[in-house]
Amino acid sequence: MYRRSDKVKLGRKHQHRAAMIENQVRSLFENGSLKTTTPKAKVLKSAVENMLVGSKRVHTDLRRIISDKATRDAVINQLSNVSVRVVKVGFRDGDNAEISKVEIVGYNNPFKMSGDKK
């Protein structure tokens, strides 16, 4: 009997896919938003939401991903009322892949310096 695979493989092997998702999660928390293809955005949203489950006990992987120890506590304290939004932006030139913007709603970014541009 055919059973559907529950993982989106994104055309990559397991280790490459895991590293890519971890890097995207880190970039998302450092910048507050991220533009990527729609399939990657959907996987990224589910990964971040799985890490945010249980607002009182933040997932260990997320603690590792947030690498700056000085601001780690400031980040973890505000994660209880955070949500992730995926907004379709358009299509990429060249291969016409659909591009989406992943945003963290309700997140005050402690990594952003006051002079940084978005």
> Is 35 or 30 the better-scoring residue by pLDDT?
35
Q: Is the pLDDT of residue 68 over 80?
A: no
Per-residue confidence at 113, pLDDT binned at 50, 70, 90?
low
Task: Give the domains, in start order, of the chain with CATH numbers.
Answer: 14-105 (3.90.1030.10)
76, 58 contact by CB (below 8 A): yes
Give the predicted TM-score (pTM) of the model.
0.76
- Share in percent of the chain as helix, strand, coil (round to 5): 45, 20, 40
Question: Amino acid identity of 15?
Answer: Q
19-23, 46-50, 107-111: the lowest-pLDDT one: 107-111
What pLDDT shows up at residue 116?
56
